[in-house]
Structure 1
């Protein structure tokens, strides 16, 4: 191949694509039989023997990464070294490449960059004519001009809109600043953020890079500089940053995940290495479901002593073969009318005071009075532990969190995960009001318990004198959907439409023939509840 000016063209140019095909055919003819792997001259492998590839992979590499422009004598692919060109030859080839691409949009490196952003433009032949409307490259230099001239986003959008109107109708030019920015972001372009003094005295740069406070106003440094933010390694380089973001989960669900409530607590920049450092952290609280609550807090979360807030002031009793926790009206304001509404609740008037709650110091003092033994899931080990007195049966063990010196001073040490609570509440409500078989809470045992308590006589189980069997009252309760209306409810749930991304495919959970709802996800339950 005498003319090798194609090596100076951008990767999408037809002459370049023909050139790499001819180069591979040339190398194939110089290869000894049986040789499968060959040195690749692409811009990534750069003729390194450790990066040997097949001819098929070499074609892909050269198409994606280009060819080394100075590799004009193919000594690694069978060409004799005596044909090594002189500096004058190389300069002549370079001038020839520049003149042959004078009708192109610019430097081959820029064209390769644009070819990556717009692969559909790879068929562009380099000529500018009236009938060439396949695609048009955007004027990415506008981004440089915007930065240099400090142009506003609105001004940039006006300029690029005018540029788009001047181009052919089916051009691929981005329509606004956000689109251009999203395209350029895919190339992993690095940037540097430099912290500044809060009073704009200095930049923490060069000599002040390691300073912790401003030398003029002595204000402390409030931020950390970042360089090449790459937490997942998607940019294919060795530089990364490990960041820790805290979310205040005690806020309402619609607030806790917003950007303004996310706090960057730790930022560790640097290359991947086996570097050790001291991290100082404080556990403010835990977030978990109720069984895990008992495991990490050491408090009992089942049986008659389940409530970890009331502890020894819990109000629990046995109803319908379950432990039920009554006395919830104690938490209402003292003048609330429900305190004296016996008919609506359990047939009694509430007089109990609100539970005071126990501080961390009170709990620690109690736990220090008894040794619970070795915590184990093995029955033999548990049998060797000393018996637990009645006043200590509110706990199963002492939580290791009390080893933290500040743990007993925290007002809220453990939080319940709203995700599990919301799903459980939603499932129980739907299964009860739709009277789903084997799922509803409105059972014969619940009606028998009402009779045992002597309340709501109209809901007691009745004796059928003909059959001698007890039957459920009809209708059961006022909040249960009557049988002939349930199919309409299921049909509505299956056919209701939601905005895109607002909810999952709830229709897949509706079983029309069986009148059941199966497999609702947590977010689906949130949508149904609201």
Structure 2
């Protein structure tokens, strides 16, 4: 596959592939999936067509196991992106056996391992057992994990899983499988992928954890720990009542999961990529190229000396776990990312670590710190104490440390994690107490129009009254609050958690964030960050809602026009009341479109042909009859802002509107490049 496509060897290889693909039950005249780089195993074709495609475009990258053409899915390879190395995402035996089996044969090497690595050996032995005599596709462990995955995906009960195992063993006596669900769960637990249940107060006041583990009611609000059973008159049951907790936090221990990253030699090798293999040419490709990372290394030089010490990021957001959106429910996962890995690995789902699962039905809000306690305790341990970890790449044990660099969230979650209220007069966490805001009487919301303070002092827009709020802007940009300064504001603040407590606090600080219990947090440069995709989705919503004049989503409505009149700017847009009529007349804005123009705009989005995988079917989100666009996902908004909206905007709207919108899309497109320079950012 890596040979030049014009070479005879490549052509011979293509014929060998086609012979194999048609030898596994496909007659020569039938169509098969085309694996070329253009069709990507999505489109069907006959042999001659596929041969031409492979010669012209080559094979799709990473397709080294022909799972769509007869080979087994077990052991399917996934390309990492830049290094050319291939990593298995479904080969359980490869994960366990890849390093340890070679080491076990060397006399004396086993002595260098810690107890955790030796325990992992038992899994290697388990993985080497055949599922049944002569089975080459599955081992006992891999088959059990696949069954366990199906149980989780499809909601099988524990009893049904046990019954299935019993049926399989009865039908195939030689089958080497655990006999019950509990034994299968114990096998998975040995992988270090278990979780702990921690009961919580239903009002989010406290966790029944550590010294409060055996308490039966909340020491803050007095609410019972258990769900009170319904009492039915005349019901006399001989069964002993079983206490069911009112709310349960799932905690997935972080330390064993981080240790597992070093158990595979290929992954362990990449844990030092950020220092040993990263290009250091001043361009930004990875968080290690950023100023925050460098500031952290300069302050904590001992930590930075060991490249295998882990740098983590934390993300959290609420979602509805039920398929029907008519049920209002918000469950909050807390996920960690490992930034030691190269950029084509660290943001892949396989390397995300679910640390906490905070139950609903309501968002924890400001009380999220109550649920973050187990994670913060682990992070403190990973910073202050040494965690003995076996490194499979070197066959040595080292002392691992880890640090949390920042959080990533949308704007409401920003307030929950940082403690600064993102609502009201002082909503901007960057401007902080220097936020410039005013209340719009008619629209009944806050407006923030002081953004010109961030421009250079000689910029012509600072003296431009007409285009902005009718005033000149000569103030300097407010300084960013550093962690030490924030901590000085919060020294005297006492946290109070729980939904039942009334919080009287006029300060924009709602709490002292639990992250400040980490010794290094106050020195971090970028403690809390906003997720770009959420911002892009909000911007696209506003653009489409305003251009298409969608009710409830447009920013140009009657109340907005009255606000312009009250502020005293844009006089040509002020509403005019018609004498003797209740109706109000106001001029069209420069971005207003006629019905025919809206139809053309929607038609372009409806008929656009997009590359496979670039976005979902955006045409389904376009309603030509009503001239609306709705129901698109966040990634669709990302794609439209970067590439798609510019086409109808340029052909329909005047340059005074089209050029700023096109530049806005270009700004986000540049920001999302894989490689960007500091000059481009400035």
TM-score by length of 2: 0.43
What is the distance in 2 between the residues matched to 1:483 and 1:463? 25
Secondary structure class of the residue paired with 1:287: strand
Give the Cα separation in 2 of the matches to 1:302 and 1:337: 31
In structure 2, the partner of 1:10 is none
For structure 1, which runs of at least 5 residues remain unmatched after alignment? 1-150, 196-202, 214-223, 271-277
For residues 230-276 of structure 1, the C-alpha deviation after alignment (integer angstroms, 9 at most, x for no partner) is: 9x975547686855699968999xx9995166697999999xxxxxx
The 5 Å alignment of 1:33-432 reads 161=13, 164=16, 171=23, 181-182=65-66, 186-188=73-75, 190-191=93-94, 193-194=98-99, 206-207=106-107, 209=109, 234-236=142-144, 258-259=343-344, 281-319=402-440, 320-371=443-494, 374-378=496-500, 381-382=501-502, 387-388=504-505, 390=506, 393-432=507-546
Q: Distance in 1 between matches of 2:403 and 2:585?
A: 58
Using the TM superposition, name which of 320-329 and 167-176 deviates more.
Answer: 167-176
Structure 2 stretches lacking a partner, 5+ long: 27-34, 36-50, 76-90, 114-119, 129-137, 146-186, 193-256, 262-266, 272-284, 291-338, 354-387, 392-398, 643-682
Superposed, 1:10-29 pairs within 5 Å as none
Match of 1:5 in 2: none
How many aligned residue pairs are there?
Answer: 343
Q: Is 1:456 the equivalent of 2:570?
A: yes
Q: Does 1:485 align with 2:597?
A: yes
SS in 1 for 2:438: strand
Residues 164 and 171 of structure 1 are in contact (CA less than 8 Å); yes or no, is this contact kept in structure 2? Answer: no
Deviations 1:268-306 (A, max 9, x none): 999xxxxxxx98542211111111111121111111121
Cα distance change on mapping 1:321 and 1:180 into 2, 3 Å: closer
- The answer as to whether partners of 2:286 and 2:343 remain within 8 angstroms in 1 is no
In structure 1, distance between residues paired with 2:534 and 2:20: 56
State the Cα distance separating 1:465 from its structure 2 match: 2.5
Give the secondary structure class of the aligned counterpart of 2:615: coil
Residues 204 and 211 of structure 1 are in contact (CA less than 8 Å); yes or no, is this contact kept in structure 2? no
Q: State the alpha-carbon separation in 2 of the partners of residues 314 and 458 from structure 1.
A: 29
1:518 maps onto 2:630 in alignment: yes
1:435 aligned residue = 549
Distance in 2 of aligned mates of 1:348 and 1:419: 33
Q: For 1:460 and 1:251, locate their aligned partners in 2 and report how far apart those are by CA, in whole Å.
A: 49
Hey, what's the Cα distance between the residues in 2 that align with 1:301 and 1:288?
A: 13
Q: What's 2:249 paired with?
A: none
Compared with structure 1, are the counterparts of its residues 356 and 170 closer, same or farther at alpha carbon in structure 2 (3 Å cutoff)?
closer
What secondary structure does 2:446 align onto? strand
**How many angstroms apart in 1 are the aligned matches of 2:633 and 2:533?**
10
Contact 1:248 1:262 in 2 (8 A): no
- CA distance 1:205–1:289, shift in 2 (3 Å): farther
Contact between 1:318 and 1:324, CA under 8 Å: does it hold in 2? Answer: yes
Inter-partner Cα distance in structure 2 for 1:169 and 1:417: 44
Counterparts in 2 of 1:449 and 1:500: CA distance versus 1, 3 Å: same
Indicate if the aligned counterparts of 2:457 and 2:474 stay in contact, CA closer than 8 A: no
Distance 2:20 2:479 in 1: 76
Give yes or no for contact 1:290–1:301 (8 Å, CA) kept in 2. yes
Aligned to 2:403, the other structure's residue is in SS state coil
| Counterparts in 2 of 1:351 and 1:234: CA distance versus 1, 3 Å | farther
Higher-Rg member (1/2): 1
**TM-score normalised according to structure 1 size:** 0.54
Aligned residue in 2 for 1:508: 620
**Aligned equivalents of 1:165, 1:409: Cα separation in 2:** 57
> Compared with structure 1, are the counterparts of its residues 168 and 358 closer, same or farther at alpha carbon in structure 2 (3 Å cutoff)?
closer
- SS of the counterpart of 2:493? coil
CA distance in 2, matches of 1:363, 1:339: 30
The higher-RCO structure (CA 8 Å, 6+ apart) is 2
